[in-house]
Chains A and B, each alone.
Chain A
Amino acid sequence: MRWFWVDRFVEFKSGISATSIKNVSLAEEHLHDHFPGFAVMPGSLIVEGLAQTGGILLGEKFNFEHIVILAKVPKIKFHSHACPGDQLRYHADLIEANEEGGRVNCTAHVGDRLVTEGEIIFAHLDKMDSSMAQAIDQKNFVFSMGLMSILDVDSMSEAVNQTSTPPENSK
Chain B
Amino acid sequence: MPSSEEIYSKVQETLIDALGVDDDEVTPEATLVGDLGAESIDFLDIVFRLEKTFDIKIPRGELFPENLAAANSDFVKDGQVTEAGLAELREKMPHADIDQLADDPQVENIQNLFTVQMICNFISNKLNS
CB within 8 Å of B: which residues of A?
A: 71-72, 74, 95-96, 98-101, 103, 121, 123, 129-132, 135
- Taking A74-B17, A74-B18, A129-B66 as contacts, is the C-beta distance between A103 and B40 under 8 angstroms? no
B residues in contact with A72, CB < 8 Å:
41-42, 44-45
Known A74-B18, A129-B67, A131-B67: A99·B41 in contact at CB below 8 Å: no
In the bound assembly, the distance between CA atoms of A144 and B60 in angstroms comes to 25
Q: How far is the CB of B36 from chain A (nearest CB, A)?
A: 14
Q: A53: shortest Cβ distance to chain B, in Å?
A: 19
Report Cα–Cα, A1/B25, bound state, in Å. Answer: 45
B-side interface size class: 10 to 19
Q: What are the residues of chain A within 8 A of B48 when measuring CB–CB?
A: 95-96, 103, 121
Contact B60 A121 (CB under 8 A): no
Provide the bound-state CA to CA distance between A95 and B52, in Å: 10
Q: Are A135 and B17 touching (Cβ within 8 A)? A: no
What 1/0 mask marks residues of chain B from 17 to 42 whose CB sits below 8 Å from any chain A CB?
A: 11010000000000000000001111
List 22 A-B residue pairs with CB atoms under 8 Å apart, sorted by A's residue number. A71-B44, A71-B45, A72-B42, A74-B17, A74-B18, A74-B20, A74-B45, A96-B52, A98-B60, A99-B60, A101-B44, A103-B45, A121-B44, A123-B44, A130-B67, A131-B40, A131-B66, A131-B67, A132-B40, A132-B41, A132-B66, A135-B40
